[in-house]
Amino acid sequence: MLTTEEKNEIDHAISLVPVRKAAGIDALKIVQEHRRWISDESLRDIAAYMDMSPEELDSVATFYNLIFRKPVGRHIILLCDSISCWVMGYENILQDLSTKLGIKYGETTTDGRYTLLPNCCLGTCDCAPALMIDDDLYRNLTTDQLDYILAKYD
């Protein structure tokens, strides 16, 4: 069941477009904001609310990189793996991050704290390597900053 709050936010998104379905991606993002990921049950509820079949909405949900159809941790680490960050050595950051957290790309730490994901160019190539944790952007990364950065999130 969608909550009243979720429905209100989705209604607002629908009010900005001439066709209800056009707000489908927004609806997914809104529910994900509240529940962190889109379960099959959430997907069915959103689809019904948007007058779409679950299959149609799932085809959209699975297309976009940042709609999560599997459970994720409390914080999402998006590590830029595109060209400028590669040249500047993001692989060292990945190696260290992976060792520290004990997870690989696509996995979540056992305490449910972090999910680690690769991400396309974050658009801050003059300050490579870069990563985002939730809404926060970290640039000019060196491996020795990782402990300090990770400690900010619980």
Partner 1 sequence: MEKPLTQHIRADRQPLTLKEYEMAGGYQSLRKVIKAMTPKAVIDLVKESNLRGRGGAGFNTGLKWSFVPADSTTPKYLIANADEMEPGTFKDRILLECTPHQLIEGMILASYAIGANISYIYLRWAYKTAAHALTKALEEAKAAGYLGQNILGSGFNLEMHLHTGAGRYMCGEETALLNSLEGKRATPRAKPPFPQISGLFGRPTIVNNVETLCCLPHILMNGPDWFKDLSRTSDAGTKIYGVSGRVKKPGAWELPMGITMRELIEEYAGGMQDGLRFRGALPGGASTDFLVEEHLDVKLDYTSVAAAGSRLGTGTLVILDDKTCPVGFVKNLEHFFAQESCGYCTPCREGLPWVEKILESIDLGKGRMEDLQLLAFHTKYLGPGNTFCAFAPGAMEPLQSALKYFREDFEKHIHEKVCPYERETLSVLR
In the complex, the residues that contact partner 1 under the rule CB under 8 A are: 16-19, 21-26, 28-29, 59-60, 63-67, 78, 81-84, 86-89, 91-92, 119-128, 132, 135, 137, 140, 142-143
3-state secondary structure of 130: coil
Residue with smaller CB distance to partner 1, 2 or 28: 28
Residue with smaller CB distance to partner 1, 11 or 110: 11
Q: How far is CA 57 from CA 18, 28, 61, 96, 118, in A?
A: 18, 9, 6, 37, 24
- Alpha-helical runs (H) found in 50-89: 54-61, 83-87
Question: Smallest distance, Å, CB 134 to partner 1?
Answer: 9
Question: Smallest distance, Å, CB 110 to partner 1?
Answer: 26
10 Å Cβ neighbour count for 31?
24
Q: Of 122, 98, 102, which Cα lies nearest the Cα of 111? A: 102
Residue with smaller CB distance to partner 1, 17 or 48: 17
Residue with smaller CB distance to partner 1, 4 or 15: 15
Question: Smallest distance, Å, CB 1 to partner 1?
Answer: 22
Task: Tell me the DSSP string of 42-89.
Answer: HHHHHHHHTT--HHHHHHHHTTSTTS-SS---SEEEEEE-SHHHHHTT
Residue with smaller CB distance to partner 1, 3 or 105: 105
Question: Smallest distance, Å, CB 14 to partner 1?
Answer: 10
- The single-letter code of the amino acid at 82 is S
Question: Smallest distance, Å, CB 135 to partner 1?
Answer: 5
